[in-house]
């Protein structure tokens, strides 16, 4: 009886270990994850059938799907607000994440659009924090200069998610955190939301041109 129990236990443990191993294999590496997203965005940008004015919204929608499938905007929002995140209400958090994600997406697309015809190389990746965090170093190679873009990722729910972007040494999140903190400390969080709403209106107006 004891041998049977041990045999069953061994089978269960082996099956569990194999399932974890299978998940690990199925999950893309940080570099593979970013290559899928970035190359996908560049492919959409280079698609001449989507470059006509009538296809402008469809083009942006396709890029948005890829970006929102890779960028963890809740995590980015928390890091941008830092200590202020815990002090605001659920409703304020919800609105902030919504506006912030739209603004960051527009900013990222705007920067990448400048290099649509250039080449992107995937240089190296670093995994740290017991496999929970990683950094993927990429470079946009142009005729005149090479532009380094680093993606910081966090592994959650069997997937690598971007939580910060560093372009030429400048962190998106650090920049936003500094700007937002100044407004909140000098004025208030509601004032920050008001400014963000106004900024988003400007962005949407420019997108329609």
Residue 111 in domain: yes
- The 10s digit of each residue's pLDDT in 12-33 is 333 333 333 333 334 589 999 9
Return d(Cα 105, Cα 63) in angstroms, integer.
Answer: 9
pLDDT tens per residue, range 130-188: 999 999 999 999 888 899 999 999 999 899 999 999 999 999 999 999 999 999 999 99
Question: Residue 52 has what DSSP assignment?
Answer: S
Domain of 198? 29-207
- Residue 7 in domain: no
Tell me, yes or no, whether 24 lies in a domain. Answer: no
Q: What angle do helix axes 56-68 and 90-113 make, rounded to 10 degrees?
A: 120
Q: Has residue 87 been placed in a domain?
A: yes
Determine contact, residues 189/206, Cβ cutoff 8 Å: no
- Indicate whether 150 belongs to any domain: yes
Q: What CATH number is given to the structural domain containing 129?
A: 3.10.450.710
Report the alpha-carbon distance of residue 201 to residue 196 in Å, rounded: 9
Tokens representing 185? 């400390």
Domain annotation covers residue 61 = yes
Say how many domains are in the chain.
1
pTM of the model: 0.83
- Domain assignment present for residue 72? The answer is yes
């Amino acid at each position: 009886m004891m041998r049977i129990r041990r045999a069953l236990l061994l089978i269960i443990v082996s099956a569990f270990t194999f399932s974890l191993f299978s998940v690990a294999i199925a999950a893309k590496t940080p570099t593979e994850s970013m290559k899928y997203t970035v190359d996908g965005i560049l492919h959409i940008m280079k698609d001449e059938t989507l470059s006509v004015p009538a296809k402008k919204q469809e083009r942006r929608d396709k890029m948005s799907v890829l970006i929102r499938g890779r960028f963890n905007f809740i995590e980015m929002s928390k890091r941008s607000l830092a200590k202020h995140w815990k002090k605001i209400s659920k409703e304020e958090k919800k609105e902030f994440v919504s506006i912030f994600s739209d603004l960051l997406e527009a900013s990222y697309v705007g920067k990448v659009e400048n290099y649509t015809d250039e080449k992107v190389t995937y240089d190296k990746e670093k995994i740290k924090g017991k496999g929970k965090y990683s950094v993927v170093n990429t470079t946009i190679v142009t005729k005149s200069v090479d532009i380094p873009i680093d993606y910081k990722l966090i592994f959650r729910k069997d997937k690598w998610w971007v939580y910060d972007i560093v372009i030429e040494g400048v962190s998106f999140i650090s920049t936003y955190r500094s700007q937002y903190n100044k407004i909140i400390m000098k004025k208030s969080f509601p004032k920050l939301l008001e400014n963000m709403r106004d900024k988003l209106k400007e962005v949407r107006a420019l997108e329609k041109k």
